[in-house]
Amino acid sequence: MRLSYHGANFLGWQRQAEGRTVQASLESALATWLRSEVEVLGVGRTDSGVHALNYIAHCDTNSVVDCSEMVYRMNRFLPDDLVLFEAVPVTMDFHARFSAVSRAYQYRIQRSKVVFGRDTSWQLDRTMNVQLLHQMAESIIGTHHFGAFERSGSAPTNGMCSISHAQWNVLGEDLLFEIEGSRFLRNMVRALVGTMIEQAIADRGMDDWETLRQSQKRSDSGPSAPAQGLTFAGAAFAECLFDGREKPQFIPKR
């Protein structure tokens, strides 16, 4: 399933004992349509308030499913802030999470006071060194340890992530950060954005950034950017699921 959701009124992707989540909403709609309980598994977790432009999930069912009818019926049952774009059958060994070879996010910052888009961006009217933002983004491409940007108290991991794309885009008054990688640590993208913005506002330079990044300590980095500016942008798999529509659409580098 390829879908999208506005995360403002969801407590994230993952089903919880209490509270509204994307996973639970999908499972409820499927159960109503199929008249049987179905578990839905997603390509990755998103936190409370985080959005998804192009998200992939899968479910296993013994029911005979017409995918076109599924999309039509499901959208009648789903809430207004969650939409199913399309669905295709997959092999039994497919898994939305474990079959993904990369995932991508985007983070939007609006640098002037606006009426529209406040719920999907960080409102930040501050002077900053945009060229430094570009340099910091370029420095994280490749395989590095990102322990300095992992949520404190997270279960121990090796901290290594391979980043294939990281880029800041200047779009009029807006800034848009794009990032794609093989994996992401908990809260990593928001911590990266918050720290890069803090560095750029203070204009601390690349030496300070490299020292911070290589420290591997979350206490050395900056605050996490607000959740509402973050959007899951897409994922890549070994085999295309939707003729490539599941992949993120990046802005060409100028």
- As annotated, the active-site residues are 47
Tell me phi and psi for residue 93, to 5 degrees: -90, 0
Give the whole-angstrom CA distance, residue 184 versus residue 166: 13
Which string of b and e fits 105-118 if b means at least 16 CB within 10 Å? bbbbbbbeeeeeee
Paired with 104 in beta bridges are 180, 234
The answer to whether 97 touches 183, Cβ cutoff 8 Å, is no
Tokens (6 digits) for 11: 């407590």
Radius of gyration of the chain (CA): 19
